[in-house]
Amino acid sequence: MRLEDMRRSDNVEDRRGFTPAHGVGIGLGTVVLLIVGYFMGVSPSTMLNLIGAGESVTQGAAGAQQQGVAGRPHDPQGDFAAAVLGETEDVWSKYFAAAGQKYTPPTLVLFNGEVASACGEASTASGPFYCPGDQKVYIDLDFFGQLASEFGAPGDFARAYVLAHEVGHHVQNLLGLTHGSARPGANGGSVAIELQADCLAGVWAMQDQRIIEPGEVQQALAAAAAVGDDTLQRRTQGRVVPDTFTHGTSAQRQQWFERGFQGGKIESCDTQSASQL
């Protein structure tokens, strides 16, 4: 990625090295949560907020969350995250403005180990997630190293895809897109939401091609494949159980990113047709 051409965002809250006011519950250390966390999306409480459109979010943890350092980080990992966030802000601000709307960017929260949000408390094992209750994206940047070493998806644009996917959830939240229908079956609502976020990440990439080096889109597709439900289930439990999918298969995640990248607009990401999921 052409990092020198990317604007750094100041909408970053660096909580690395800070401790949450409330400890993470024992349940977050269970094997089940570890597996769900690797599905690269959201903590269980966040998922309930995303699926349960209109339901109130848990506010207890929000008032007690640790305070971090606001503004652009200066370490390489933090600087990269701020650069990707800045690019999403520029693209979505222009996109919303063209439609006569105003884009309110999310805040990116960087943390280590444990974090408190308006959607509850989470740990690194939960993976990156977006909380609609406080409109913040949460990520432990160690996930980037894990993405490369354990999931086999290295590269700057693979990392950018992860952040763009979470910002995609923010776009969904602003536009009320999480209220749409989904395919039949268990967890169909969450699958539709996650695939649409992949598609919105593709829309962002299409709109911001000036920062993408040749061949880097393949890095995003490799990352999408690496975190597909079927791939992760084979990795963690040795078998695939489609009824427990939360994010979609590797092929679906790639398909929906490509759909957004090729279409280049939010309308490309309509999930109303169940047959397409």
- Per DSSP, the residues of 148-190 read HHTSS--SHHHHHHHHHHHHHHHHHHHHTGGGS---SSTTHHH
230/63: higher pLDDT: 230
- Mean pLDDT, residues 177-195: 66
pLDDT at 37: 47
pLDDT at 21 over 80: no
**Residues 118 and 57 sit within 8 Å (Cβ to Cβ):** yes
Instruction: Tell me the Ramachandran region of residue 180: left when phi exceeds 0, alpha when psi lies from -120 to 50, beta otherwise.
Output: beta
pLDDT at 66: 60
Closest CA to 254 of 178, 169, 186, 153: 153
pLDDT > 70 fraction of the chain, expressed in percent and rounded? 78
- Mean pLDDT, residues 193-197: 96
23/245: higher pLDDT: 245
**Residues 30 and 92 sit within 8 Å (Cβ to Cβ):** no
189/5: higher pLDDT: 5
pLDDT at 63 over 70: no
Q: Scanning the structure block, which residue is given the tokens 């600087």?
A: 79
Closest CA to 110 of 134, 141, 82: 141
Least confident range from 79-83, 169-173, 251-255, 272-276: namely 272-276
pLDDT at 24: 40
Q: Scanning the structure block, which residue is given the tokens 């990520």?
A: 139
pLDDT at 60 over 80: no
Maximum pairwise Cα distance, the chain: 49
**Residues 250 and 223 sit within 8 Å (Cβ to Cβ):** no
pLDDT at 177: 86
pLDDT at 33 over 80: no
- Mean pLDDT, residues 49-61: 35
Sheet holding 12-14, edge to edge: 69-70, 12-14, 107-110, 136-139, 129-131
- Mean pLDDT, residues 39-56: 40
Structure tokens at 148: 């490369």
Angle, in degrees to the nearest 10, between helices 156-175 and 76-98: 40
- Mean pLDDT, residues 131-151: 95
- Mean pLDDT, residues 176-200: 73
pLDDT at 36 over 60: no
Query: Can you say how many angstroms the Cα of residue 4 is from the centroid of all Cα atoms in its chain?
Result: 24
Least confident range from 11-15, 125-129, 152-156, 273-277: namely 273-277
Helix, coil or strand: residue 224: helix
Q: pTM (2 decimals)? A: 0.82
pLDDT at 52: 34
Write down the domain spans for the chain: 3-276
Closest CA to 129 of 108, 150, 112, 145: 108
- Mean pLDDT, residues 72-101: 97
**Residues 261 and 201 sit within 8 Å (Cβ to Cβ):** no
250/62: higher pLDDT: 250
pLDDT tier, 203 (very low <50, low <70, confident <90, very high otherwise): very high
Give the count of beta carbons closer than 10 Å to the beta carbon of residue 218: 12
pLDDT at 187: 62
- Mean pLDDT, residues 197-213: 96
Looking from the CA of 108 toward its CB, the CA atoms found within 13 Å total: 33
pLDDT at 70: 93
Q: How far apart are CA 64 and CA 83, in angstroms?
A: 29
DSSP assignment letter at 69: E
- Mean pLDDT, residues 123-147: 95
**Residues 271 and 181 sit within 8 Å (Cβ to Cβ):** yes
